[in-house]
Chains A and B, each alone.
Chain A
Amino acid sequence: MSLLEVRGVTMRFGGLVANEDVSFAVEPGQIYAVIGPNGAGKTTLFNTISGLYQPSAGSIRFAGEDTVEPFSAAVAARALVVGVATSVGLVVALNVEELWRIAIGDNYAYGEAFPWAKAAKDLLAAFPGLGAWWGLGVAVLGFVIGLGASLVLWQRSRRTPDRIARRGIARTFQNIRLFSDLSLIENVLVGMDARMRAGFWSCLLRLPRFRAERESSESDARELLAFVDLGDRAEEVAKNLPYGLQRRLEIARALASWPRLLLLDEPAAGMNPSETNDLMRLIRRVRDRGVTVLLIEHHMKVVMGISDRIMVLQYGKRIAEGSPAEIRSDPTCIEAYLGKEEHG
């Protein structure tokens, strides 16, 4: 089974078609490269895979599952609860003075014991009589608003970057996006958040669960920093790191969630030859950790040197796919990159 299966993905922005009917599959353990001229739609494809954009058509399956969250009983139940709560809340809010008078004002005499049971009974008895005919209308309106809003929010959050990340797809960015005022180790720890389990209260009260997780996550983070050769700079602030090392930190951060698939968006951009060589070695080592790699790259040396499979995009369409040797000898690819041969 393929790890990532992209089927017929089309991405339109108004009249502009950034990707048209793109299909490909990445097998586990591969290093898969997407290449193409500037503006071919490579980064759009990445953003679609990682959940920033919703494809206009087509589907993206990861580890055999559709990445769009399916409708479930829990979603329906939550929408109903929100609907009822909004309904009650709206009725109470619109009648708060009346309800207060019925339950408390009429029952409480200064200095005397308050009849709680009677107040509760009066309060409940007051609801049917509220505001005559429009009382029911308000209740229905509240229910519809609550239910609708809950469903709209759910619909919008069916395929968001955070959900995709939690499924096991991590990414880096073309223009490096680190948490620049956090330290290196904190950057990696944010990447690890997706697999942390200590909740709000155990963090707040420093319960044993938090302490245990802090130990293990910090040692994991240090191990990852050492993996990208940044082990001795864990406490430095990310923005003070030189450019080439920032890329490495971004990769360490992405690996922290233990992803199964890592998306690298032009990792060699702006690197000198020796940094590029180091990067190629690093990408191979990432793959050897058992992480499948999907990368966009311009640098032909990198692409040809490390990829198992290559897909070529031009004007948003897939024009070729194959092993590096096949791509190198494919006339359409040569044409796309080097221009057409003149005959005659």
Chain B
Amino acid sequence: MRRAPLLIAMLAAALAWPIAEQFLPGSWSVLDAVKSIFIFAILGLALNAVTGFAGILNLGIAAFMAIGAYAFAILTNDLYPFQIGFWPAILLTLPIGALAGFLLGAPTLGLRGDYLAIVTLGFGEIVQDVLKNLDSITLGTQGINPLPAPVVPWWKPGEDGQGGGLGLVDLAEETQGAGPLLSYYLFLAFVVVAWLVFRNLERSRVGRAWMSLRSDELASRSMGIPPVRTKMLAFATAAAFAAFAGGLWASWLSSTGEPANYDFQISILALCIVIVGGMGSIAGVLVGALVMIGVNSIVLVKLFEWLQSKGLGASGSVFVSPNSWKYLLFGLALVLMMRFKPDGLVPASGRGERKPSGGRS
């Protein structure tokens, strides 16, 4: 259990951060950006199930995120008759994503390695095109907005400081501070739930079957593991949680954004999170999300703000905009990882430079 201290430390830091932030200067406030780390942690955990555990390279995870985001939007926005609210909609993204994964997986999971990766790549493009061109339903490139922010059921902050009461509360309508804070903890809770789900699966016959297929498909089949059904389970589970992350993403932005937001770059970003963190390592994926999205949404943004305050970024030159550098940095990070730490920052057990006498984690 040597991953446990790391996970506990990360959880404690995540719990304490909003409190710590109170004592820091205003420009340090990154609560909202940390939520995107949480969203991508869920996306990374999903991708890790299919790519890290089952060994199926999925280059179209963003498509399932898009499906989740649009499903959430159509189920909640008042342009549509459903309007079922945050909780039913966010929970429905799970079966909707799983169904999408099943529909893509059913005819294609018999394919081997590279071919399947190409299918997922194509699916990622198709979904964007469908969402863009089905504009009588999805509003095309406009995106659907506004979308409901997370609500916490049965919890309502006292309006005059007299303690909480029961009732559904839209966090967006709350007084300043309390809303973002609660939704921060809600997003954190979602990450913890996703972590528990994938940890439970990993340490059960389901996860072992996935890993055996990754390790040696022929031997695995000869042990009685049905390959297509087992891969389907991984694929659909990943699709479900990717769609869930998509729903959260849309809720966080209060908009689906345009379909092109869910492009190949998102899929690659998710893949980078898994690779940098460590393929097949749940703790690694959480670290990967922290590092990659932390750099993407916090470090680079703050750097840009700092440069602007020095009068450097204002000229509009692409060279002084850290945002223009990010894919170079990500590419460089990947190259360096592959060269020096190919198993990721927190390698999965059984991989990396592990001593023969090491314990199981």
Q: Do A and B bind each other?
A: yes
Residues of A participating in the B interface, judged by any CB pair closer than 8 Å = 50, 52, 96-97, 100-101, 104-105, 107-108, 110-111, 114, 119, 149, 153, 160-162, 165-166, 170-171, 173, 177-183, 186, 189-191, 193-194, 196, 198, 200, 203-206, 210, 214, 235-237, 239-240, 253-254, 257
- B residues less than 8 Å from A50 (CB atoms): 222
B137 touching A108, Cβ below 8 Å: no
Q: Which residue in A101, A105, A178 is a CB contact (below 8 Å) of B216? A: A178
Contact flag A200-B233 (CB < 8 Å), given A161-B221, A165-B224? yes
Q: A160-B221, A170-B222, A206-B200 provided; 20 other pairs, C-beta below 8 A?
A: A52-B222, A100-B137, A101-B136, A104-B80, A111-B78, A171-B222, A181-B215, A191-B223, A193-B224, A194-B223, A194-B224, A196-B205, A203-B207, A204-B197, A204-B204, A204-B206, A235-B359, A235-B360, A253-B223, A257-B224
27 A-B residue pairs with CB within 8 Å: A52-B222, A97-B137, A100-B136, A100-B137, A153-B110, A161-B222, A162-B227, A165-B221, A165-B223, A165-B224, A170-B222, A171-B222, A173-B222, A178-B216, A181-B348, A182-B211, A182-B212, A186-B211, A189-B208, A198-B204, A203-B201, A203-B206, A236-B357, A237-B350, A237-B354, A257-B223, A257-B224
Residue B218 at the A interface, CB < 8 A?
yes
Residue B3 at the A interface, CB < 8 A?
no
A179 touching B136, Cβ below 8 Å: no
Residues of B participating in the A interface, judged by any CB pair closer than 8 Å = 78-81, 107, 110, 134, 136-137, 197, 200-201, 204-209, 211-212, 215-216, 218-227, 233, 348-351, 354, 356-360
Interface centre among A110, A162, A204, A210 (most CB of B within 10 A): A162
Distance in Å from the Cβ of A269 to the closest Cβ of chain B?
17
- A residues less than 8 Å from B224 (CB atoms): 162, 165-166, 193-194, 257
- B residues less than 8 Å from A204 (CB atoms): 197, 200-201, 204, 206
Distance in Å from the Cβ of A229 to the closest Cβ of chain B?
17
A162 touching B136, Cβ below 8 Å: no
Which of chain A's residues has its CB closest to B354's CB? A237
Which of chain B's residues has its CB closest to A213's CB? B205
A179 touching B215, Cβ below 8 Å: yes
Distance in Å from the Cβ of A205 to the closest Cβ of chain B?
7
A182 touching B350, Cβ below 8 Å: yes
A177 touching B219, Cβ below 8 Å: yes
B204 touching A193, Cβ below 8 Å: no
Distance in Å from the Cβ of B281 to the closest Cβ of chain A?
11
Cα-based distance from A178 to B348 in the complex (angstroms): 18
Cα-based distance from A162 to B219 in the complex (angstroms): 10
B220 touching A96, Cβ below 8 Å: no
Which of chain B's residues has its CB closest to A98's CB? B136
B215 touching A182, Cβ below 8 Å: yes
Cα-based distance from A257 to B212 in the complex (angstroms): 15
Q: Which residue in B79, B134, B357 is a CB contact (below 8 Å) of A110? A: B79
A149 touching B107, Cβ below 8 Å: yes
Distance in Å from the Cβ of A259 to the closest Cβ of chain B?
9
Which of chain B's residues has its CB closest to A254's CB? B223
- State the 3 A-B residue pairs at the shortest beta-carbon distance, nearest first: A194-B224, A114-B81, A203-B204
Cα-based distance from A227 to B18 in the complex (angstroms): 55
Cα-based distance from A65 to B215 in the complex (angstroms): 32
Contact flag A96-B350 (CB < 8 Å), given A173-B219, A203-B206, A205-B200? no
Cα-based distance from A210 to B136 in the complex (angstroms): 47
B208 touching A162, Cβ below 8 Å: no
Q: Which residue in B81, B211, B233 is a CB contact (below 8 Å) of A104? A: B81
Cα-based distance from A69 to B200 in the complex (angstroms): 34
- A residues less than 8 Å from B78 (CB atoms): 110-111
Q: Which residue in A108, A153, A181, A214 is a CB contact (below 8 Å) of B80? A: A108
- A residues less than 8 Å from B208 (CB atoms): 182, 186, 189-190, 193
Which of chain B's residues has its CB closest to A116's CB? B81
A200 touching B206, Cβ below 8 Å: yes
